[in-house]
Amino acid sequence: MKKLNYIDLFAGAGGLSEGFIRAGFKPIVHIELDQAACYTLKTRQAYYYLKKKNKAETYIDYLKGNITRDDLYSVLPNEILSSVINKTIGVDNKYIFGEIDKQLQNQEVDILLGGPPCQAYSLVGRARDENGMQNDRRNYLYIQYNNFLKKYNPKMFVFENVPGLLSAKQGQYYKNMCNLFDKAGYITQHFALAASNFGVLQNRKRILIIGYKKELNISLPDFENYKSGLSSKVKSVFADLPKLQAGEGIDKFISYAGKTNSWLKESGVRNGIDVLTQHVARPHTIQDKEIYRITVDKWNDKKERLDYNDLPERLKTHKNRHSFFDRFKVVAADMPYSHTVVAHIAKDGHYYIHPDIEQNRSISVREAARLQSFPDDFYFEGIKEGQSRTAAFKQIGNAVPPLMAQNIAKKIKEL
């Protein structure tokens, strides 16, 4: 039985793709604008290629810092490296189509994956923009998505985005999408998903639009009421990791501080390659650490979130006292899921404070990745090798949780 293949548009770091690969699908190409994310995609493809060739030790050498990124890529065939396309969808379509056609070699495309950047549809993005994102070109990237549907005619597509997609411009964008997809020959259905239902220890809400060719006689699963059966407390994310102070950590290879637990094992976060990377914490000012201590004490002692206006006057440096009262927030270890990890974590860690007061810092890159259910052997690249913390946080915050994607992919595969 041939492996079902897919094209991944707006691929990011590859969270959606990771889930589909783990469910047995085969990527044809990944298309992504961000250069650092493209390096991440290439590195992950290196992992799968070397694993298949029984040469995983080369990848492990990379995680340990024994070889460079160039050394890692040098053992890959050109078709693997060229399957990651660092171009702009809508601007470079002619080039992109040409590269896809080379990779396809007359194969059919089974599934199209991907969701355009979500800032234009998100409630927060609209609130911050003086025009409510009305003039943002990203509002119309679904038209480009439809162009790929028309060209490659896949059996199905999976389009992921934020819940605000349904209400943006009074729902007009969503209606326009569905009309376009209908004209291209697809029946569409949307689902409001909670990542926690799929075993992810995070309260991440997303919209999933699934389309399938009208001639296919299928019935989609009820993804909204899906329950994976995998659950735990957020403390499982932190349980086996070495303690760090602000500004500490090692990018390549640090040893675990404890044994695995059931969630880490069953989720695939710890999957056999016990090489811990990117457990790196950003530095903080003395003032920030004082605020963090107040925030953590308030949660751990009273289960109360910090209101910014309740801080001592000397610690209140933001002029805006009328909104974003909860700009400092603890990742609650004793809850069944954390609050949502978003790309803003790349700018500061105030919204993602570690629950251990002794460490007194925001969460590390690896801890953020685990909250998103990325496996520990998934390495997030920067544009320059070894300079990946900020780029990694951004990629992690923008990603689809692989564990959620894997469960969705399994059900789609059954169809």
Residue-range domains of the chain with CATH:
5-229+400-414 (3.40.50.150)
- Please give the pLDDT value at position 171: 86
- Residue pair 326/306 in contact (Cβ under 8 Å)? The answer is yes
- Please give the pLDDT value at position 165: 86
- Please give the pLDDT value at position 316: 86
Taken in order 248, 251, 255, 260, the sign of the CA dihedral is positive
- Residue pair 193/224 in contact (Cβ under 8 Å)? The answer is yes
Residues near 363 by beta carbon (within 8 Å), at least 6 away in sequence: 281, 331, 349, 352, 353, 354, 371
Cα distance from N-terminal residue to C-terminal residue, the chain: 14
Of 345, 328, 409, nearest in space to 26 by CA = 409
- Please give the pLDDT value at position 133: 42
- Please give the pLDDT value at position 320: 67
3-state secondary structure 164-206: HHHCHHHHHHHHHHHHHHHHCCEEEEEEEEEHHHHCCCECCEE
Label residues 127-143 b or e (16+ Cβ within 10 Å = b): eeeeeebeebebbebbe
| 191 phi/psi in degrees, rounded to 5 | -135, 135
- Please give the pLDDT value at position 307: 87
Label residues 262-276 b or e (16+ Cβ within 10 Å = b): ebbebbbbbeeeebb
Label residues 291-321 b or e (16+ Cβ within 10 Å = b): bbeebbebbbeeeeebebeebeeeeeeeeee
Hey, how many other C-beta atoms are within 10 angstroms of the C-beta on 10? 26
Residue 118 designated active-site: yes
- Residue pair 276/254 in contact (Cβ under 8 Å)? The answer is yes
Catalytic site residue from 7, 11, 38, 118:
118
- Please give the pLDDT value at position 217: 87
Q: Which runs of E-coded beta strand occur in 245-384? A: 249-250, 279-280
Q: Is 61 exposed, middle or buried (0-12, 13-18, 19+ CB in 10 A)?
A: middle
Q: How many CA atoms lie within 13 A of 131 on its CB side?
A: 7
Of 396, 370, 414, nearest in space to 268 by CA = 370
What residues of the chain score a pLDDT lower than 50? Answer: 122-136
- Residue pair 45/83 in contact (Cβ under 8 Å)? The answer is yes
What is the C-alpha separation between 39 and 384, in angstroms, rounded? Answer: 9
- Please give the pLDDT value at position 118: 55
Taken in order 385, 202, 200, 292, the sign of the CA dihedral is positive
Amino acid found at 215 = E
Residues near 51 by beta carbon (within 8 Å), at least 6 away in sequence: 59
Is this prediction's pTM over 0.85?
yes
What is the C-alpha separation between 335 and 233, in angstroms, rounded? Answer: 5
Taken in order 157, 32, 191, 140, the sign of the CA dihedral is negative
What is the C-alpha separation between 320 and 310, in angstroms, rounded? Answer: 14
Output the six-digit token pair for 190: 């949307």
Of 314, 337, 310, nearest in space to 231 by CA = 337
